Structure 1
Amino acid sequence: MGADSLIKKIPHSQVIKLEDMVAVDANQVSSMTLVQRPSIGMTLFSLGEGEGIKMHTSPGDAMVQILSGIAEIIIGEEKHLVHGGETIILPANIPHALHAIKSFQMLLIVVKPDKQ
């Protein structure tokens, strides 16, 4: 991984399991930012069982790829159970929250509008 790498903190040019990059700790939310730019962010998260991320909004669409475990994801008034291997899009500017039904790991990719 060179100094000019755009995706940080994970090995390049080799096969990896993203689940191995962010450990699940009981009673804790952990994260590792891979990319943080004005129009895109990529972050690995792990949430211990029972943990959550409270209701909030984002100015961009967020793609959540659940890597392991089970998350309850609330988008507006709708609840969704999302299992390891499944993906859901959280639309921009719609309130959303996450709760760990079973400890889970996820890759979050947020794509924001270009500044005009």
Structure 2
Amino acid sequence: MAIAHAVSGDVVDLRAPSSPDRTVALFKAPDLEAMRLILAAGKTMPEHSVPGSLTVQCLKGRIELVLPDRSPVLEAGQFAYLGGGVPHALRALEDSDVLVTLVIVQAA
């Protein structure tokens, strides 16, 4: 069954429980996408990069944001900004809930 994405003006409750180790796309527009990642302690999102800028916001728990030159730890209530093309990975240090927002870059 497909998950309904939010449409303009919808309110999304980020406190609603979700299954562990699950990614839920909250919405996808031509220029912006938001997803919620639920990561159990010790789980990782492998290294990757995306063309557009993004933010990673820790809503619950603690995550390590693995970057080429450092690995800051984000705790609940903290977020990080990454420019487009920056390789990164995530590792949950505790059971964590993460909001990722991506700028969609249109192909020329």
Query: TM-score band, normalised by the shorter chain?
Result: 0.7 to 0.9
Unaligned runs of 5+ in 1: none
| Conservation of the 8 A alpha-carbon contact between 1:22 and 1:44 | no
Flag the structure with higher strand content: 1
| Aligned Cα root-mean-square deviation (Å) | 2.4
1:113 Cα deviation after fit: 3.2
Which amino acid counterpart does residue 43 of structure 1 have in structure 2? Answer: M
Residue deviations 1:2-58, cap 9 Å, x none?
x9x6259xx63x8x4x132434x2xxx211111123321111111000001010000
After TM superposition, which residue ranges in structure 1, 4 or more long, deviate above 4 angstroms?
A: none
| TM-score of the superposed pair, with normalisation by structure 2 | 0.83
User: May I ask how many residue pairs the two structures share in their alignment?
Assistant: 104
Unaligned runs of 5+ in 2: none
| TM-score of the superposed pair, with normalisation by structure 1 | 0.77
Counterparts in 2 of 1:1-116, with a 5 A limit? 6=7, 12=11, 16=13, 18-23=14-19, 25=20, 29-116=21-108
| Conservation of the 8 A alpha-carbon contact between 1:22 and 1:31 | no
| Percentage identity across paired residues of the two chains | 22
